[in-house]
Structure 1
């Protein structure tokens, strides 16, 4: 690959949600502050929604790494669970010895006992569920039962749901209105602005050990237009650009490489159809501007 050619220590635009590459942009910073503020108040459900590719899983893992010893994070990345499977997965994350005799038959009581023990230690359990839009109705009802676990003064458990916009649709159903009414804090992740895309690309290039100049600013602006600021699509397009530039032995990616990468990325190509003229006009103006500067320099 192009790691050595561009002097990278690791792949700058990998799709793996690596928290070391977390970019402190406004959407994710604000979401993290909302969650941490809600957790400090120790009550209710917390919900974070966002379109596909906006960085929910990365934010989810960043949250887990950010929590201090006061919290016990129980992370469930797979929501395709029956109520019994959900209860078992939560118990294991919580540290309940599920192999102990009689525990499985009284798992709910064992979970409550573990939560009470943590509360006595002045620690707060937090159940974090990724891709929560895929939770079944029965699993949502199980979460409601979990949320009922409390002392006279406070909840024994806080629940953070990360999901796509379909989660909002699911929670609008009357059959889960009790959960909807318990959501005390919510945040909707937006896509990145053009300026944020430019900063994001530079951040990932330098975090990987490379130079920001590998992808010029003018190219980043068109990437923002093509991807509509969706982080996952930005990663995909930039990775393909670097592959093409490396294949030609170029030290910097150009808008030719960018156009080729966009044309090879289904979502970007489809999104570009209404804006094709705008993009080509932008590229034409950039080319004219560069040509004018070269001509002016020659004089």
Structure 2
């Protein structure tokens, strides 16, 4: 990408598939603290946030920090799996042979969780992303599946992550028994203006940039349009770099950002 050279970037840090640069905001530290608590306490945890607020990035960063000799991390996304596929995938990821029938997979999953927890002394950490797609049947099943009657302590940490409507689903009366087992519930808010500025500068620094790229009014315009959502900050920074380069402008101002906003159909 030729335009990265104009702005002194080794790569474009605002693209999704570029090298990940984690910005340690106050919110990110709080999320990590809550997730660590869930892993130690075990039971059910809920992490919600609007689209593009950084849930998956935070979860991925946290999961990679867990000691593999103490935790076994299993990740699945409900947006891509049918109900039966969900159970088969969970059994397989736990290291067991999945069955075709749901009751058999239930038993296989429970047996494998017990084996990991009691014999291997490992805590299974089961992350269910995009859990706002979860249906009532799966929620009821989860309550049963992770209920080990002979043991008063939970044997696994189960994190449900998704959009804020996940909490609305859990507030339904039929889910009261499951809700009582939730030990952590956190909603990711957007970045503050101060954190937004830090986010942009840390991303650029992580990409080897030692020169100013955005004027202060340009950063202000990006942050106003993004409303604290990291995904939109990335989108607008990237679009601004493209517009700036095509106009052969070395220092991006608010005018370039407004053009980028229009190009991104956010204006």
For normalisation by structure 2, the TM-score amounts to: 0.91
Report which of the two has the higher share of helix. 1
Q: Aligned-pair distance for 1:197?
A: 0.7
Partner of residue 40, structure 2: 40
**Offset at 1:76?**
0.5
Does the 8 Å contact 1:47/1:186 carry over to 2? yes
In the TM superposition, what is the alpha-carbon distance from 1:79 to its structure 2 partner? 3.8
Distance 2:122 2:25 in 1: 30
Deviation, 1:23, is 0.9
Deviation at 1:110, TM superposition (A): 1.8
* Change over 3 Å in CA distance of 1:81–1:178 after alignment to 2: farther
Unaligned runs of 5+ in 2: none
* Count of residues in Structure 1 that have an aligned counterpart in Structure 2: 262
Aligned CA distance change for structure 1 residues 35 and 11 (closer, same or farther; 3 Å): same
Following superposition of structure 1 onto structure 2, how do residues 256-271 of structure 1 map, counting pairs within 5 Å? 256-266=255-265, 268-269=266-267
1:115 matched to which residue of 2? 113
Deviates more, 1:169-178 or 1:197-206: 169-178
Distance in 2 between residues matched to 1:97 and 1:3, nearest whole Å: 48
Unaligned runs of 5+ in 1: 270-299
- The answer as to 2:200 corresponding to 1:208 is no
How far off its partner does 1:40 sit? 0.9
Two-structure CA RMSD over aligned residues (Å): 1.9
Residues 246 and 17 of structure 1: CA distance in aligned 2, closer, same or farther (over 3 Å): closer
4+ runs of 1 displaced by more than 6 Å? none
In structure 1, distance between residues paired with 2:140 and 2:161: 17
Pairwise mapping of residues 10-89 of structure 1 onto structure 2 (< 5 A)?
10-16=11-17, 20-42=20-42, 44-69=43-68, 70-89=70-89
User: Per the alignment, do residues 151 and 5 of structure 1 end up closer, same or farther by CA in structure 2, a change over 3 Å counting?
Assistant: farther
Distance 1:177 1:11 in 2: 46
Matched-pair contact (CA < 8 Å) for 2:47–2:186: yes
Q: 1:212 to 1:186 in 2, by over 3 A?
A: farther
Contact 1:149 1:157 in 2 (8 A): no
Q: Is the 8 A contact 1:48 1:188 kept in 2?
A: yes
Q: Secondary structure at the match of 1:21?
A: coil
Cα distance between partner residues in 2 of 1:237 and 1:148: 46
Counterpart CA distance in 2 for 1:112 and 1:137 is 20
Tell me how far 1:32 sits from its aligned partner. 1.2
Return the offset for 1:11: 2.0
Counterpart residue number, 2:225: 226
Find the counterpart in structure 2 of residue 5 from structure 1: 6
Q: CA deviation at 1:155?
A: 1.5
Query: Are the aligned partners of 2:131 and 2:161 in contact in 1 as well (CA < 8 Å)?
Result: yes
Cα distance in 1 for residues equivalent to 2:249 and 2:186: 42
TM-score, reference length from structure 1: 0.81
Q: Distance in 2 between matches of 1:74 and 1:143?
A: 15
* Partner Cα distance (2:128, 2:189) in 1: 20
* Bigger mean CA deviation after superposition, 233-242 or 135-144: 135-144
1 CA distance for matches of 2:207 and 2:150? 47
Deviation at 1:36, TM superposition (A): 0.5
Q: Is the 8 A contact 2:110 2:146 kept in 1?
A: no
Rg larger for: 1
